[in-house]
Amino acid sequence: MPLQVSVISPEKTLFEGSVESLVAPAFDGEVGILPGHAPMMTLLGKGTLRLGPDGSGGRFRVEGGFLQVVDNAVRVVTERASAA
């Protein structure tokens, strides 16, 4: 079962869809998320959010915000984001 991912900035929703995995820049290092991940919430740092294997589903530069994982749904709410 793929992850249902939303990437949201103050201006707009940048991505809404399914991916196999993602890697996000947490405040204390990168965090990888796969289907079946335990529920979690973390603060985001500054870096590249990579959707899908090797970023094949999309890449975004993010700065701050948070990431939430619940039941294979991942919500990324960021203060600033742009396509990378």
pLDDT in 10s for each residue of the chain, 84 residues: 899 999 999 999 999 999 999 999 999 999 999 999 999 999 999 999 999 988 889 999 999 999 999 999 999 999 999 988
pLDDT at site 84: 84
Residue 13 one-letter amino acid: T
CATH architecture of 3-83: Sandwich (2.60)
pLDDT at site 1: 82
Q: How far apart are CA 7 and CA 78, in angstroms?
A: 8
What count of other Cβ atoms lies within 10 Å of the Cβ of residue 50?
22
Instruction: Pinpoint the alpha helices (H) of 13-76.
Output: none
pLDDT at site 43: 97
Q: Give yes or no for a contact between 75 and 6, defined as CB atoms under 8 angstroms apart.
A: yes
